[in-house]
């Protein structure tokens, strides 16, 4: 028989974390996208968000916006490449940093520095940028102080371009959107359609 003394605090923490993540999924909302032979992508978000999906054949565009007063937005562009050009972390990070140059020159950061997403599957990188003209000013709906641009390599045939706009990298809406990306799940498909 197992007694309570055999469950140390370090052993209880992973169980508690697992229970909290499960509760967040039950209390939040989820969106599942079926990519046919490329698999199914499930996104989990706490709070009230609206998903708008557009299918353009070779890509899917997902816009995620709050239904309440939060000042944040996320756009995901999902493509299904025939050839895997970003088959290493180094190549993907370099592409993300090159893509970020357009924002870096006009940002507080001044440089595109790729940071790694903490993903359950695949790998990805992003760069953060702050608008110098909005620093220290009160939030304005639809006018974002920060932007995150990145890419996620979920599988050789599933690539996601990411853009998150918000009023700060530590704001609740930003953290919810970042958590959605880092907690997404791709289930296997039956091969390329």
- Residue 189 is predicted with a pLDDT of 67
Parse the chain into domains and list their residue ranges.
29-187
**110 has a pLDDT exceeding 80:** yes
Residue 31 scores a pLDDT above 80: yes
How far is residue 77's CA from residue 63's CA, in Å, rounded to a whole number?
Answer: 9
Element holding 102 (H helix, E strand): helix 89-104
Tokens of 98: 């090159």
CATH entry, 29-187, from 3.30.70.60, 3.40.50.620, 3.40.1000.10, 3.40.50.300: 3.40.1000.10
- The pTM for the full model equals 0.81
Tokens of 70: 């939060």
Residue 17 reports pLDDT greater than 60:
no
Q: Average per-residue pLDDT in the chain?
A: 85
Average pLDDT over residues 35-52: 88
Could you tell me the pLDDT band of residue 36, with boundaries at 50, 70 and 90? confident
DSSP letter at 104 equals H
Percent of the chain beyond pLDDT 70? 83
Cβ(109)–Cβ(132) below 8 Å: no
Cα gap 39→180, rounded to integer Å: 18
């Amino acid at each position: 028989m197992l007694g309570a003394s055999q469950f140390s605090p370090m052993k209880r923490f992973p169980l508690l974390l697992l229970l909290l993540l499960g509760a967040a999924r039950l209390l939040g909302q989820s969106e599942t996208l079926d990519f046919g032979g490329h698999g199914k992508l499930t996104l989990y978000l706490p709070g009230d968000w609206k998903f708008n999906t557009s299918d353009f054949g070779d890509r899917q565009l997902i816009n995620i916006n709050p239904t309440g007063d939060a000042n944040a937005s996320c756009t995901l562009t999902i493509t299904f490449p025939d050839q895997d050009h970003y088959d290493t972390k180094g190549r993907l990070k370099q592409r993300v940093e090159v893509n970020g140059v357009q924002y870096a020159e006009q940002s507080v950061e001044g440089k595109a520095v790729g940071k790694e997403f903490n993903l359950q599957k695949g790998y990805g990188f992003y760069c953060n940028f702050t608008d110098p003209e909005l620093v220290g000013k009160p939030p304005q709906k639809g006018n974002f102080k920060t932007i995150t641009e990145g890419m996620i390599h979920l599988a050789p045939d599933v690539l996601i371009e990411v853009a998150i706009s918000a009023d700060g990298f530590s704001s609740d809406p930003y953290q919810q959107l970042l958590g959605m990306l880092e907690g997404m799940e791709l289930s296997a498909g039956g091969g390329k359609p």
